[in-house]
Structure 1
Amino acid sequence: MSRNCDLLDRRGVSETIGFVFVFALVTASIGVVYTTGIGGLEDAREDEQLTNAVRAFDVLADNVGDVTSEGAPSRATELKLSGASVGFGDPVGITVQVNDTDSDANLTYTQTTRPLVYDAPAGQVVYSAGATFRVDGGDAAMRSEPGLVVTDRQSVVPLVVTYPASDSGGVGGSSTVLVVAHRQSVELGGRFDTGPDPADEARVNVTVNSPRAAAWGRYFESLGMSPPNSNPAAADPSDGEVTYQFFTDRLLVPESVVEFEIAG
Protein backbone atom coordinates (compact mmCIF):
# COMPACT_ATOMS: atom_id res chain seq x y z
CA MET A 1 0.00 0.00 0.00
CA SER A 2 2.79 2.41 0.91
CA ARG A 3 4.55 1.56 -2.32
CA ASN A 4 1.46 2.56 -4.29
CA CYS A 5 1.24 5.79 -2.35
CA ASP A 6 4.87 6.59 -3.17
CA LEU A 7 4.20 5.99 -6.86
CA LEU A 8 1.16 8.22 -6.73
CA ASP A 9 3.11 10.94 -4.92
CA ARG A 10 5.97 10.84 -7.44
CA ARG A 11 3.50 10.90 -10.33
CA GLY A 12 1.73 13.87 -8.79
CA VAL A 13 4.99 15.75 -8.34
CA SER A 14 6.02 14.98 -11.95
CA GLU A 15 2.69 16.20 -13.30
CA THR A 16 2.95 19.38 -11.22
CA ILE A 17 6.50 20.06 -12.42
CA GLY A 18 5.46 19.35 -16.00
CA PHE A 19 2.54 21.75 -15.69
CA VAL A 20 4.85 24.45 -14.30
CA PHE A 21 7.31 23.94 -17.18
CA VAL A 22 4.54 24.02 -19.79
CA PHE A 23 2.97 27.09 -18.21
CA ALA A 24 6.35 28.87 -18.12
CA LEU A 25 7.00 27.95 -21.76
CA VAL A 26 3.61 29.21 -22.86
CA THR A 27 4.03 32.43 -20.87
CA ALA A 28 7.48 33.05 -22.32
CA SER A 29 6.24 32.36 -25.85
CA ILE A 30 3.36 34.80 -25.40
CA GLY A 31 5.83 37.41 -24.12
CA VAL A 32 8.15 36.95 -27.09
CA VAL A 33 5.28 37.05 -29.59
CA TYR A 34 3.79 40.12 -27.89
CA THR A 35 7.13 41.97 -27.80
CA THR A 36 8.03 41.05 -31.38
CA GLY A 37 4.53 41.76 -32.64
CA ILE A 38 4.33 45.17 -31.01
CA GLY A 39 7.77 46.10 -32.37
CA GLY A 40 6.81 44.93 -35.85
CA LEU A 41 3.56 46.87 -35.75
CA GLU A 42 5.41 49.99 -34.63
CA ASP A 43 7.94 49.62 -37.45
CA ALA A 44 5.14 49.12 -39.98
CA ARG A 45 3.30 52.18 -38.66
CA GLU A 46 6.41 54.36 -38.91
CA ASP A 47 7.17 53.10 -42.42
CA GLU A 48 3.61 53.84 -43.53
CA GLN A 49 3.89 57.32 -42.03
CA LEU A 50 7.02 57.99 -44.11
CA THR A 51 5.32 56.58 -47.23
CA ASN A 52 2.38 58.94 -46.71
CA ALA A 53 4.82 61.84 -46.32
CA VAL A 54 6.45 60.88 -49.63
CA ARG A 55 3.03 61.07 -51.31
CA ALA A 56 2.43 64.47 -49.74
CA PHE A 57 5.81 65.71 -51.00
CA ASP A 58 4.94 64.47 -54.49
CA VAL A 59 1.90 66.74 -54.28
CA LEU A 60 4.12 69.54 -52.97
CA ALA A 61 6.47 69.11 -55.94
CA ASP A 62 3.49 69.39 -58.30
CA ASN A 63 2.32 72.50 -56.48
CA VAL A 64 5.76 74.10 -56.75
CA GLY A 65 5.60 73.26 -60.46
CA ASP A 66 2.35 75.22 -60.70
CA VAL A 67 4.09 78.18 -59.05
CA THR A 68 7.24 78.05 -61.19
CA SER A 69 5.78 76.97 -64.54
CA GLU A 70 2.06 77.73 -64.59
CA GLY A 71 2.08 81.25 -63.17
CA ALA A 72 0.26 80.45 -59.92
CA PRO A 73 1.11 83.02 -57.22
CA SER A 74 1.05 80.38 -54.44
CA ARG A 75 0.01 76.83 -53.65
CA ALA A 76 -0.54 75.10 -50.28
CA THR A 77 0.24 71.48 -49.37
CA GLU A 78 -1.10 69.72 -46.27
CA LEU A 79 1.31 67.67 -44.15
CA LYS A 80 0.31 65.45 -41.20
CA LEU A 81 3.09 65.42 -38.63
CA SER A 82 2.01 62.57 -36.30
CA GLY A 83 5.11 62.93 -34.15
CA ALA A 84 7.37 64.11 -36.98
CA SER A 85 8.71 67.59 -37.68
CA VAL A 86 9.03 69.74 -40.77
CA GLY A 87 11.70 72.38 -41.24
CA PHE A 88 14.66 73.32 -43.40
CA GLY A 89 17.94 71.53 -44.00
CA ASP A 90 21.44 72.80 -44.62
CA PRO A 91 21.96 74.78 -47.85
CA VAL A 92 22.48 72.84 -51.07
CA GLY A 93 24.63 74.38 -53.80
CA ILE A 94 24.20 73.85 -57.54
CA THR A 95 26.67 75.10 -60.13
CA VAL A 96 26.31 74.91 -63.91
CA GLN A 97 29.49 75.57 -65.90
CA VAL A 98 29.35 75.74 -69.68
CA ASN A 99 32.31 76.05 -72.08
CA ASP A 100 32.33 76.39 -75.86
CA THR A 101 34.69 73.65 -77.02
CA ASP A 102 35.73 75.74 -80.06
CA SER A 103 36.00 79.33 -78.84
CA ASP A 104 36.59 78.66 -75.11
CA ALA A 105 33.79 81.10 -74.27
CA ASN A 106 32.32 80.14 -70.90
CA LEU A 107 29.68 81.03 -68.36
CA THR A 108 28.93 79.88 -64.81
CA TYR A 109 25.56 79.82 -63.04
CA THR A 110 25.45 79.19 -59.29
CA GLN A 111 22.54 79.01 -56.85
CA THR A 112 22.01 77.92 -53.25
CA THR A 113 18.74 76.48 -51.99
CA ARG A 114 17.37 75.50 -48.57
CA PRO A 115 15.72 72.05 -48.70
CA LEU A 116 12.38 71.42 -47.01
CA VAL A 117 12.79 68.41 -44.67
CA TYR A 118 10.12 66.16 -43.11
CA ASP A 119 11.89 64.35 -40.26
CA ALA A 120 10.16 61.23 -38.88
CA PRO A 121 11.32 58.25 -36.74
CA ALA A 122 11.63 56.02 -39.83
CA GLY A 123 13.59 58.51 -41.93
CA GLN A 124 13.24 61.74 -43.86
CA VAL A 125 11.47 63.12 -46.91
CA VAL A 126 13.20 66.07 -48.58
CA TYR A 127 12.29 68.59 -51.27
CA SER A 128 15.45 70.09 -52.73
CA ALA A 129 16.15 71.99 -55.96
CA GLY A 130 13.02 70.72 -57.67
CA ALA A 131 13.43 67.06 -56.63
CA THR A 132 12.01 64.97 -53.78
CA PHE A 133 13.93 62.31 -51.87
CA ARG A 134 13.13 59.55 -49.42
CA VAL A 135 15.93 58.92 -46.93
CA ASP A 136 16.02 55.60 -45.05
CA GLY A 137 18.95 54.77 -42.81
CA GLY A 138 21.03 57.49 -44.42
CA ASP A 139 20.44 56.19 -47.96
CA ALA A 140 18.55 58.62 -50.23
CA ALA A 141 16.43 57.73 -53.25
CA MET A 142 15.10 60.37 -55.63
CA ARG A 143 11.33 60.03 -55.88
CA SER A 144 10.42 62.90 -58.21
CA GLU A 145 12.88 64.44 -60.65
CA PRO A 146 13.92 68.10 -61.09
CA GLY A 147 13.17 68.20 -64.84
CA LEU A 148 16.56 68.44 -66.54
CA VAL A 149 16.44 67.98 -70.32
CA VAL A 150 19.67 66.70 -71.89
CA THR A 151 19.92 66.39 -75.69
CA ASP A 152 22.54 67.04 -78.35
CA ARG A 153 20.63 69.99 -79.82
CA GLN A 154 19.11 71.82 -76.84
CA SER A 155 19.32 71.17 -73.10
CA VAL A 156 17.64 72.69 -70.07
CA VAL A 157 19.00 72.79 -66.52
CA PRO A 158 16.37 74.43 -64.28
CA LEU A 159 17.51 75.96 -61.00
CA VAL A 160 14.75 75.95 -58.35
CA VAL A 161 15.71 77.99 -55.31
CA THR A 162 13.63 77.64 -52.14
CA TYR A 163 14.06 79.41 -48.82
CA PRO A 164 12.06 79.72 -45.58
CA ALA A 165 9.75 82.65 -44.87
CA SER A 166 11.10 82.59 -41.31
CA ASP A 167 14.01 80.58 -39.98
CA SER A 168 12.26 79.42 -36.80
CA GLY A 169 13.75 75.93 -36.82
CA GLY A 170 10.64 74.12 -38.01
CA VAL A 171 7.42 72.75 -36.52
CA GLY A 172 6.91 69.44 -34.70
CA GLY A 173 4.12 67.61 -32.91
CA SER A 174 1.03 65.70 -33.95
CA SER A 175 -0.90 68.42 -35.76
CA THR A 176 -1.48 69.06 -39.45
CA VAL A 177 0.38 71.95 -41.07
CA LEU A 178 0.26 73.72 -44.39
CA VAL A 179 3.36 74.35 -46.43
CA VAL A 180 2.64 77.33 -48.69
CA ALA A 181 4.86 77.92 -51.72
CA HIS A 182 4.94 81.60 -52.72
CA ARG A 183 6.24 82.62 -56.14
CA GLN A 184 8.98 85.22 -55.85
CA SER A 185 10.57 85.29 -59.30
CA VAL A 186 10.76 83.19 -62.44
CA GLU A 187 13.19 84.17 -65.18
CA LEU A 188 15.65 82.85 -67.69
CA GLY A 189 18.85 82.95 -65.70
CA GLY A 190 21.11 82.14 -68.61
CA ARG A 191 21.37 81.11 -72.25
CA PHE A 192 24.38 79.72 -74.08
CA ASP A 193 24.40 79.07 -77.85
CA THR A 194 27.36 77.68 -79.76
CA GLY A 195 26.15 79.18 -83.06
CA PRO A 196 25.53 77.72 -86.52
CA ASP A 197 28.71 75.64 -86.81
CA PRO A 198 27.55 72.00 -86.51
CA ALA A 199 31.00 70.94 -85.33
CA ASP A 200 30.87 73.33 -82.41
CA GLU A 201 29.36 72.23 -79.09
CA ALA A 202 29.15 73.26 -75.47
CA ARG A 203 30.59 71.20 -72.65
CA VAL A 204 28.34 71.46 -69.58
CA ASN A 205 29.34 70.46 -66.05
CA VAL A 206 26.64 70.26 -63.38
CA THR A 207 27.85 70.16 -59.78
CA VAL A 208 25.62 69.47 -56.76
CA ASN A 209 26.85 69.83 -53.19
CA SER A 210 24.36 67.93 -51.04
CA PRO A 211 24.04 65.20 -48.39
CA ARG A 212 22.06 63.33 -51.09
CA ALA A 213 24.86 63.60 -53.67
CA ALA A 214 24.75 59.86 -54.48
CA ALA A 215 21.06 60.10 -55.47
CA TRP A 216 21.84 63.12 -57.66
CA GLY A 217 24.63 61.14 -59.32
CA ARG A 218 22.28 58.25 -60.14
CA TYR A 219 19.81 60.71 -61.64
CA PHE A 220 22.47 62.33 -63.82
CA GLU A 221 23.58 58.91 -65.06
CA SER A 222 19.98 58.05 -65.96
CA LEU A 223 20.03 61.09 -68.29
CA GLY A 224 23.13 59.82 -70.05
CA MET A 225 25.49 62.22 -68.30
CA SER A 226 28.94 60.98 -67.30
CA PRO A 227 31.83 61.99 -65.03
CA PRO A 228 34.14 64.66 -66.53
CA ASN A 229 36.87 63.13 -68.68
CA SER A 230 39.42 65.40 -67.05
CA ASN A 231 38.42 64.40 -63.51
CA PRO A 232 36.41 61.16 -63.17
CA ALA A 233 36.73 61.30 -59.38
CA ALA A 234 34.44 64.36 -59.38
CA ALA A 235 31.50 61.94 -59.64
CA ASP A 236 32.43 60.24 -56.34
CA PRO A 237 29.69 61.24 -53.83
CA SER A 238 31.68 60.31 -50.73
CA ASP A 239 32.62 63.94 -50.08
CA GLY A 240 29.03 65.16 -50.48
CA GLU A 241 29.56 66.59 -53.96
CA VAL A 242 29.19 65.22 -57.49
CA THR A 243 29.94 66.66 -60.92
CA TYR A 244 28.56 65.20 -64.15
CA GLN A 245 29.03 66.33 -67.73
CA PHE A 246 27.21 66.40 -71.06
CA PHE A 247 27.57 68.09 -74.46
CA THR A 248 24.93 70.14 -76.28
CA ASP A 249 24.56 72.87 -78.93
CA ARG A 250 22.36 75.14 -76.82
CA LEU A 251 21.78 75.48 -73.09
CA LEU A 252 18.95 77.21 -71.21
CA VAL A 253 19.10 77.80 -67.45
CA PRO A 254 15.71 78.90 -66.05
CA GLU A 255 15.82 80.18 -62.46
CA SER A 256 12.82 80.09 -60.13
CA VAL A 257 12.77 81.46 -56.59
CA VAL A 258 10.10 80.17 -54.18
CA GLU A 259 9.48 81.09 -50.56
CA PHE A 260 8.15 78.32 -48.25
CA GLU A 261 5.87 79.31 -45.41
CA ILE A 262 4.93 76.72 -42.75
CA ALA A 263 1.51 77.52 -41.30
CA GLY A 264 0.15 75.63 -38.30
Structure 2
Amino acid sequence: MSNKDISQKDLLRIPSVVASLINLLLYDNKAVIRASQIRYIDLSEHFFFDKLLRPVFPDVCVFVSGSKRNLPFILCFENQTRSDPTMAVRNFIYMAAVFLWQLRQKHSSGFEWPKNRFVPCVVFTLHYGRFAWKPKSFRELFQFDSYPCLQPFLTDYKMNVENIACWDREKIESIRSDFRFIADYCAQMRASHGKTYEPPTTWPIEHVEQTLTALAALSQDPDLKKVFDEYVQQFKTNEQKGAPTMASVIAHILQRGERIGEQR
Protein backbone atom coordinates (compact mmCIF):
# COMPACT_ATOMS: atom_id res chain seq x y z
CA MET A 1 0.00 0.00 0.00
CA SER A 2 1.43 3.38 -1.03
CA ASN A 3 1.97 6.33 1.30
CA LYS A 4 -0.60 8.26 -0.73
CA ASP A 5 -3.27 5.64 -0.03
CA ILE A 6 -2.42 5.55 3.68
CA SER A 7 -2.45 9.36 3.99
CA GLN A 8 -5.78 9.76 2.20
CA LYS A 9 -7.27 7.00 4.36
CA ASP A 10 -6.15 8.84 7.49
CA LEU A 11 -7.98 12.00 6.41
CA LEU A 12 -11.12 10.02 5.58
CA ARG A 13 -10.95 8.37 8.99
CA ILE A 14 -12.22 11.64 10.47
CA PRO A 15 -16.05 11.49 10.74
CA SER A 16 -16.54 15.21 10.10
CA VAL A 17 -14.53 14.99 6.86
CA VAL A 18 -16.56 12.00 5.65
CA ALA A 19 -19.84 13.68 6.61
CA SER A 20 -18.87 16.81 4.66
CA LEU A 21 -18.04 14.70 1.58
CA ILE A 22 -21.32 12.79 1.78
CA ASN A 23 -23.25 16.04 2.02
CA LEU A 24 -21.30 17.44 -0.93
CA LEU A 25 -21.78 14.41 -3.17
CA LEU A 26 -25.30 13.30 -2.22
CA TYR A 27 -27.16 16.28 -0.78
CA ASP A 28 -26.01 19.29 -2.83
CA ASN A 29 -23.76 20.34 0.08
CA LYS A 30 -26.66 20.74 2.51
CA ALA A 31 -25.88 19.80 6.12
CA VAL A 32 -27.97 16.61 6.15
CA ILE A 33 -25.48 14.07 7.51
CA ARG A 34 -23.73 14.77 10.82
CA ALA A 35 -20.43 13.36 12.03
CA SER A 36 -22.29 11.56 14.83
CA GLN A 37 -24.07 9.42 12.20
CA ILE A 38 -20.84 7.99 10.81
CA ARG A 39 -19.83 4.49 11.92
CA TYR A 40 -16.74 2.92 10.36
CA ILE A 41 -16.91 -0.65 9.09
CA ASP A 42 -13.72 -2.71 9.19
CA LEU A 43 -14.01 -5.12 6.30
CA SER A 44 -10.39 -6.28 6.67
CA GLU A 45 -11.50 -8.71 9.37
CA HIS A 46 -13.60 -10.63 6.85
CA PHE A 47 -11.90 -10.24 3.47
CA PHE A 48 -8.39 -10.58 2.16
CA PHE A 49 -5.89 -9.35 -0.44
CA ASP A 50 -5.36 -10.58 -4.00
CA LYS A 51 -2.06 -11.89 -5.42
CA LEU A 52 -0.84 -8.32 -6.04
CA LEU A 53 -1.54 -7.49 -2.38
CA ARG A 54 -4.43 -5.23 -3.31
CA PRO A 55 -7.37 -5.36 -0.90
CA VAL A 56 -10.65 -6.79 -2.16
CA PHE A 57 -12.50 -4.25 -0.06
CA PRO A 58 -12.65 -0.43 -0.36
CA ASP A 59 -10.27 1.97 1.37
CA VAL A 60 -12.94 3.46 3.61
CA CYS A 61 -16.38 2.06 4.37
CA VAL A 62 -18.93 3.76 6.64
CA PHE A 63 -22.37 2.95 7.92
CA VAL A 64 -24.52 6.11 7.99
CA SER A 65 -27.18 5.73 10.65
CA GLY A 66 -30.71 6.85 9.92
CA SER A 67 -32.40 10.05 11.04
CA LYS A 68 -35.66 11.91 10.44
CA ARG A 69 -34.27 13.07 7.10
CA ASN A 70 -32.82 9.82 5.73
CA LEU A 71 -32.80 6.04 6.08
CA PRO A 72 -29.54 4.22 6.95
CA PHE A 73 -27.13 3.34 4.16
CA ILE A 74 -23.51 2.33 3.55
CA LEU A 75 -21.06 4.45 1.59
CA CYS A 76 -17.55 3.48 0.50
CA PHE A 77 -14.63 5.54 -0.76
CA GLU A 78 -11.79 4.22 -2.91
CA ASN A 79 -8.75 6.52 -3.34
CA GLN A 80 -6.94 6.55 -6.69
CA THR A 81 -4.17 8.81 -7.99
CA ARG A 82 -4.24 7.39 -11.51
CA SER A 83 -6.79 5.83 -13.85
CA ASP A 84 -7.06 2.05 -13.54
CA PRO A 85 -8.84 0.19 -16.39
CA THR A 86 -9.83 -2.62 -14.02
CA MET A 87 -11.43 -0.34 -11.42
CA ALA A 88 -14.98 -0.98 -12.62
CA VAL A 89 -14.46 -4.68 -11.84
CA ARG A 90 -12.77 -3.91 -8.52
CA ASN A 91 -15.58 -1.58 -7.45
CA PHE A 92 -18.10 -4.29 -8.30
CA ILE A 93 -16.14 -6.66 -6.02
CA TYR A 94 -16.11 -4.01 -3.27
CA MET A 95 -19.89 -3.75 -3.51
CA ALA A 96 -20.20 -7.53 -3.23
CA ALA A 97 -17.88 -7.52 -0.21
CA VAL A 98 -20.15 -5.05 1.58
CA PHE A 99 -23.26 -7.17 0.99
CA LEU A 100 -21.42 -10.32 2.06
CA TRP A 101 -20.44 -8.45 5.22
CA GLN A 102 -24.09 -7.57 5.77
CA LEU A 103 -25.02 -11.25 5.47
CA ARG A 104 -22.72 -11.94 8.42
CA GLN A 105 -24.27 -9.24 10.59
CA LYS A 106 -27.52 -11.02 11.50
CA HIS A 107 -27.08 -10.41 15.21
CA SER A 108 -24.72 -7.45 15.09
CA SER A 109 -25.29 -4.76 17.69
CA GLY A 110 -24.67 -1.08 17.14
CA PHE A 111 -26.15 -0.95 13.63
CA GLU A 112 -29.70 0.06 12.81
CA TRP A 113 -30.66 -2.75 10.45
CA PRO A 114 -34.07 -2.40 8.73
CA LYS A 115 -36.60 -5.22 8.79
CA ASN A 116 -35.30 -6.70 5.52
CA ARG A 117 -31.77 -6.61 7.07
CA PHE A 118 -30.01 -5.13 4.05
CA VAL A 119 -29.20 -1.48 3.46
CA PRO A 120 -28.11 -0.02 0.11
CA CYS A 121 -24.44 0.63 -0.61
CA VAL A 122 -22.80 3.23 -2.87
CA VAL A 123 -19.11 3.18 -3.83
CA PHE A 124 -17.32 6.40 -4.85
CA THR A 125 -13.89 6.40 -6.48
CA LEU A 126 -12.07 9.59 -5.49
CA HIS A 127 -9.63 10.29 -8.30
CA TYR A 128 -6.82 12.72 -7.42
CA GLY A 129 -5.01 12.62 -10.78
CA ARG A 130 -4.85 15.47 -13.29
CA PHE A 131 -6.54 13.62 -16.16
CA ALA A 132 -10.17 12.51 -16.35
CA TRP A 133 -10.87 8.85 -15.58
CA LYS A 134 -11.49 6.21 -18.27
CA PRO A 135 -13.23 3.74 -18.51
CA LYS A 136 -16.14 4.01 -16.09
CA SER A 137 -18.35 0.98 -16.74
CA PHE A 138 -18.56 -2.67 -17.72
CA ARG A 139 -20.02 -1.59 -21.05
CA GLU A 140 -16.77 0.18 -21.95
CA LEU A 141 -14.65 -2.77 -20.81
CA PHE A 142 -16.59 -5.64 -22.38
CA GLN A 143 -18.00 -4.00 -25.53
CA PHE A 144 -21.57 -5.02 -24.76
CA ASP A 145 -22.80 -4.07 -28.21
CA SER A 146 -20.71 -6.86 -29.73
CA TYR A 147 -22.89 -9.46 -27.95
CA PRO A 148 -26.44 -8.83 -29.21
CA CYS A 149 -27.69 -12.26 -28.13
CA LEU A 150 -26.62 -11.53 -24.55
CA GLN A 151 -28.06 -8.00 -24.35
CA PRO A 152 -31.31 -9.00 -22.56
CA PHE A 153 -29.34 -10.78 -19.85
CA LEU A 154 -26.33 -8.52 -19.27
CA THR A 155 -26.25 -6.01 -16.44
CA ASP A 156 -24.01 -2.98 -16.76
CA TYR A 157 -22.14 -1.54 -13.78
CA LYS A 158 -21.31 2.16 -13.87
CA MET A 159 -18.68 3.58 -11.53
CA ASN A 160 -19.25 6.68 -9.46
CA VAL A 161 -16.01 8.54 -10.23
CA GLU A 162 -15.22 11.96 -8.81
CA ASN A 163 -12.44 13.62 -10.81
CA ILE A 164 -11.49 15.98 -7.99
CA ALA A 165 -9.01 17.99 -10.08
CA CYS A 166 -11.93 18.96 -12.35
CA TRP A 167 -14.08 20.42 -9.56
CA ASP A 168 -14.73 24.15 -9.99
CA ARG A 169 -13.70 26.84 -7.48
CA GLU A 170 -17.21 27.31 -6.10
CA LYS A 171 -17.54 23.62 -5.29
CA ILE A 172 -14.09 23.43 -3.70
CA GLU A 173 -14.56 26.51 -1.54
CA SER A 174 -17.95 25.24 -0.35
CA ILE A 175 -16.48 22.08 1.22
CA ARG A 176 -16.99 22.24 4.98
CA SER A 177 -13.90 20.28 6.00
CA ASP A 178 -10.15 20.06 5.48
CA PHE A 179 -10.78 17.98 2.35
CA ARG A 180 -11.05 21.28 0.48
CA PHE A 181 -7.26 21.63 0.79
CA ILE A 182 -6.87 18.33 -1.06
CA ALA A 183 -9.38 19.34 -3.73
CA ASP A 184 -7.75 22.75 -4.12
CA TYR A 185 -4.31 21.16 -4.52
CA CYS A 186 -5.58 18.75 -7.20
CA ALA A 187 -7.33 21.55 -9.10
CA GLN A 188 -4.23 23.76 -9.02
CA MET A 189 -2.01 20.91 -10.23
CA ARG A 190 -4.37 20.33 -13.16
CA ALA A 191 -4.58 24.03 -14.05
CA SER A 192 -0.79 24.53 -13.87
CA HIS A 193 0.04 21.20 -15.53
CA GLY A 194 1.67 20.00 -12.33
CA LYS A 195 4.04 22.96 -12.00
CA THR A 196 2.78 25.35 -9.31
CA TYR A 197 0.82 25.24 -6.07
CA GLU A 198 -0.16 28.32 -4.06
CA PRO A 199 -1.71 27.27 -0.73
CA PRO A 200 -4.81 29.25 0.32
CA THR A 201 -3.45 31.18 3.29
CA THR A 202 -6.68 32.18 5.03
CA TRP A 203 -8.37 28.79 5.28
CA PRO A 204 -8.27 27.38 8.82
CA ILE A 205 -6.95 23.84 9.22
CA GLU A 206 -8.86 21.74 11.72
CA HIS A 207 -6.90 18.50 11.38
CA VAL A 208 -3.34 19.68 10.75
CA GLU A 209 -1.48 16.38 10.83
CA GLN A 210 -3.83 14.44 8.56
CA THR A 211 -4.29 17.31 6.09
CA LEU A 212 -0.62 18.20 5.65
CA THR A 213 0.43 14.55 5.58
CA ALA A 214 -2.06 13.95 2.76
CA LEU A 215 -0.80 17.01 0.85
CA ALA A 216 2.80 15.91 1.37
CA ALA A 217 2.02 12.45 0.01
CA LEU A 218 0.26 13.87 -3.07
CA SER A 219 2.99 16.42 -3.80
CA GLN A 220 5.62 15.65 -6.42
CA ASP A 221 7.79 18.48 -5.01
CA PRO A 222 10.33 16.96 -2.55
CA ASP A 223 10.99 20.36 -0.91
CA LEU A 224 7.29 20.99 -0.30
CA LYS A 225 6.88 17.48 1.04
CA LYS A 226 9.81 17.98 3.39
CA VAL A 227 8.56 21.27 4.89
CA PHE A 228 5.05 19.86 5.30
CA ASP A 229 6.49 16.85 7.12
CA GLU A 230 8.61 19.15 9.29
CA TYR A 231 5.63 21.33 10.17
CA VAL A 232 3.58 18.26 11.13
CA GLN A 233 6.33 17.15 13.53
CA GLN A 234 6.58 20.67 14.93
CA PHE A 235 2.83 20.87 15.38
CA LYS A 236 2.77 17.53 17.23
CA THR A 237 5.44 18.63 19.71
CA ASN A 238 4.49 22.30 20.27
CA GLU A 239 1.31 23.58 21.82
CA GLN A 240 -0.56 25.76 19.32
CA LYS A 241 -2.62 28.83 20.22
CA GLY A 242 -5.71 29.48 18.15
CA ALA A 243 -6.80 27.76 14.97
CA PRO A 244 -3.83 27.21 12.62
CA THR A 245 -4.12 28.31 8.98
CA MET A 246 -2.04 27.62 5.92
CA ALA A 247 -0.43 31.03 6.57
CA SER A 248 1.36 29.55 9.61
CA VAL A 249 2.63 26.72 7.43
CA ILE A 250 3.95 29.20 4.86
CA ALA A 251 5.60 31.18 7.64
CA HIS A 252 7.35 27.98 8.68
CA ILE A 253 8.48 27.47 5.07
CA LEU A 254 9.89 31.00 4.90
CA GLN A 255 11.64 30.64 8.26
CA ARG A 256 13.13 27.37 7.10
CA GLY A 257 14.36 29.05 3.92
CA GLU A 258 15.98 31.82 5.94
CA ARG A 259 17.70 29.29 8.22
CA ILE A 260 19.06 27.38 5.26
CA GLY A 261 20.25 30.65 3.70
CA GLU A 262 22.06 31.63 6.88
CA GLN A 263 23.69 28.23 7.14
CA ARG A 264 24.90 28.49 3.56
Same fold, judged at TM 0.5 (above) = no
**Which protein has the bigger strand share?**
1
With a CA cutoff of 8 Å and minimum separation of 6, indicate the structure with the bigger relative contact order: 1
**Which protein has the bigger helix share?**
2
Using the size of structure 2 for normalisation, the TM-score is 0.23
Using the size of structure 1 for normalisation, the TM-score is 0.23
